[in-house]
Amino acid sequence: MQTKVLLIYTGGTIGMNCNPRTKALEPFDFEHLLSNVPELNQFDTEISTYQFLPPIDSSDMSPMRWTDLSHVIADNYDNYDGFVVLHGTDTMAYTASALSYMLENLTKPVIFTGSQLPIGQLRTDGKENLITSIEIAAAKNQDGTAIVPEVGIYFNGHLLRGNRTTKQSADGFNAFESFNYPHLVEAGVNITYHKEMIRKPDFSKPMTPHFKLDNNVIIFSLFPGVREDLIRHIIATPNLKSIVMRTFGSGNAPQNPWLISALKEGTRKGKVIINISQCLEGRVEMGRYDTGYQLKEAGVVSGFDSTVESAVTKLMFLQSQYDDPEQIRRYMQRSIRGEITV
């Protein structure tokens, strides 16, 4: 049987065009995108398309659209072997992380890609990104199972685990990196699948989609000089359920007594506070320095080697599933989709 891939276009530079009046890039019609890649007709794979209307710049992504995207994948799941999602690069790592949580026991590839230059431009990176993403989404093992049953981001020759990835460059072609996890696939002259790094779902069980997210969460960064009144204000926000706190180095914070007491107060009131390092590479170890140990004492939970994008979307997902903050703290310290190394 012919392999089938559903190409979902949400928007982003890959399908944008220059507005002659404002000179700004704006989303364009999907047909335009396809007419610029006649190579798609050469695939053995049958490619169908689905377009979000209107296509958006990914800065306008939202939990509501993540839910829409989960619905599109869930509704078409049985009819396709894999999915390629064209998405703006700006928030691609957030969407890929969110989808990794929303699609439980994923047995088929969901490959996100996009480009830094529109597909109609001569030097575009969009063509290779799109073509190789389709190839990866269609790739199967000899037993017919998908080689990459994961939510991944394909860009500039690498496939990265979605919930391990961060946008690292605003204008280079190598826009993404997964600093704390090896690449899943390298695409050079040949496509090399690092199978030992790729997740293995239970192929005998169905994929379970989830459609709810609870975005009562905030991300804040510590910095020398951070003010008590502002931090206390955030922590006292009534409906706020969790905080992704970006700390220094291996998870350290200033030793001001007010900060520790404010965090303790937050924990006591049931807020889940996750410690994520401002460093791109490495992990949080709260016991390493006294400045980190105090956070542990205040009930702050280690985010290990999580990306910010993954932590914030995992909290949105868990908060939609569980009411008990202790339960959420427990799941935050466990890898549920390969997002952290504990």
Residue 1, SS3?
A: coil
Residue with the closest Cβ to ligand ASP? 88
Amino acid at 250: S
Q: How many chain residues are in contact with ligand ASP, going by CB under 6 A?
A: 11
89 touches ligand ASP by CB under 6 A: yes
Query: 214, 215, 285, 210: which is closest to 247 by C-alpha?
Result: 285
Q: Nearer Cβ to ligand ASP, position 37 or 226? A: 37
Phi/psi of residue 155, nearest 5 degrees: -160, 135
CB atoms inside a 10 Å sphere around CB 44: 7
Q: How far is the CB of 220 from ligand ASP (least distance, A)?
A: 23
Q: How far is the CB of 93 from ligand ASP (least distance, A)?
A: 11
Q: Nearer Cβ to ligand ASP, position 13 or 250? A: 13
Phi/psi of residue 219, nearest 5 degrees: -110, 130
Q: Which active-site residues does the annotation give? A: 13
Angle at 318 (CA atoms; ends 194, 307), nearest 5 degrees: 45
152 touches ligand ASP by CB under 6 A: no
Give the range of 30-38, 39-47, 82-90, 250-258 binding ligand ASP by CB under 6 A.
82-90
- Do the Cβ atoms of 176 and 92 come closer than 8 Å? yes
Give the range of 40-48, 55-63, 240-248, 271-279 binding ligand ASP by CB under 6 A.
55-63
114 touches ligand ASP by CB under 6 A: yes
82 touches ligand ASP by CB under 6 A: no
Q: How far is the CB of 91 from ligand ASP (least distance, A)?
A: 6
Phi/psi of residue 290, nearest 5 degrees: -60, -35
10 touches ligand ASP by CB under 6 A: no
Q: How far is the CB of 135 from ligand ASP (least distance, A)?
A: 21
Query: 282, 265, 284: which is closest to 274 by C-alpha?
Result: 284
Give the range of 34-42, 87-95, 128-136, 288-296 binding ligand ASP by CB under 6 A.
87-95
Sequential DSSP letters for 39-58: GGGG-SSEEEEEEEEEEE-G
125 touches ligand ASP by CB under 6 A: no
Backbone dihedral region of 299: left (phi > 0), alpha (psi from -120 to 50 degrees) or beta? left
13 touches ligand ASP by CB under 6 A: yes
Q: Nearer Cβ to ligand ASP, position 169 or 333? A: 169
Q: How far is the CB of 153 from ligand ASP (least distance, A)?
A: 12
Provide CB contacts within 8 A for 205, sequence distance 6+. Answer: 105
Cα separation, 7 vs 20, in Å, equals 28
Amino acid at 182: P
Give the range of 8-16, 97-105, 149-157, 318-326 binding ligand ASP by CB under 6 A.
8-16
90 touches ligand ASP by CB under 6 A: yes
The verdict on whether omega for the bond into residue 54 sits within 30 degrees of 0, i.e. cis, is yes
Which residues in this chain contact ligand ASP in the complex, by CB under 6 A? 11-13, 57-59, 88-90, 114, 116
